[in-house]
Amino acid sequence: MPSPRLTIGGYRFRTPALLVMALTHSSSGREHNERLEFLGDAVLGSLVAGELYGRYPSADEGTLTRARATLVNRRTLARIARSIDIPARLLLGGGEARNRGGERDSILAGALEALIGAIYLDAGYLTCKQAVLPWFIAEFSDVLDLEGQKDPKTRLQELMQARNQPLPRYQVIETAGTPHQPTFTVQCLVSDLVDPVIGTASSKKIAEQRAARAVLAQLESLP
């Protein structure tokens, strides 16, 4: 059976050296991942642009550009890196390891891009697309609402303003998980609904967006 160490994020490498290089930070003193990071950044930009183009045929260029920037920013990439266990597999130099460099968003985001570049070299564009896009599915559905051209929080706020009602109130009611893989539960309260509506996600921002989307759905169902 193939070694489980060749599998990461659901993808199994055929060329082990590519996986090792993708997870090797420049501080290690070995052949590192910066060139792969450069390649992966370009590949990821293409994957995300293509997915956005296909998903949202009515969105204009400016909207698509902003959406891509949101989906490939450092914070989002670091969150995805944590979700596929990159921190535990990073190869760092002694100084970075002692300073907990594997927890820094910049290092994790770079490693994720390097991993994408490595998958591209290992298997080609189409397989890379099939492996990588599932990591971003939650981001596509929760961070943006391109059909409405605005995210759910903005749409909900504008709806409350149009009705001359108080703005929505968001409150974190629970934080679970570890410091590096947290889960936030946020409640959203609006005047038209008796009970608060809950959203849960790996970031406070996405949890708020999910709660806002759920509120909008409930408001739309009211007479």
In the chain, domain spans: 4-143, 152-221
From first to last of its 223 residues, what are the pLDDT tens digits of the chain? 334 488 999 999 999 999 999 999 989 878 899 999 999 999 999 999 999 998 888 778 887 888 888 888 888 899 899 989 899 899 888 787 777 767 888 999 999 999 999 999 999 999 999 999 999 887 776 555 555 557 788 889 989 998 899 999 999 999 987 776 778 899 999 988 888 899 888 788 888 988 998 898 888 877 6
Q: Could you tell me how many residues make up the chain? A: 223
- Judge: domain 152-221, CATH 3.40.50.620: no
With beta carbons less than 8 A apart as the criterion, state whether 92 and 27 touch. Answer: yes
Q: Kindly give, in sequence order, each residue whose CB lies less than 8 Å from that of residue 217, ignoring residues fewer than 6 positions away.
A: none
Known catalytic residues? 41, 113
Domain 4-143 matching CATH 1.10.1520.10: the answer reads yes
Check if the beta carbon of residue 40 is closer than 8 Å to that of residue 114. Answer: yes
Q: Rounded to an integer, what distance in angstroms lies between the CA atom of residue 73 and that of residue 143?
A: 12
User: Looking up tokens 């160490």, which residue turns up?
Assistant: 5
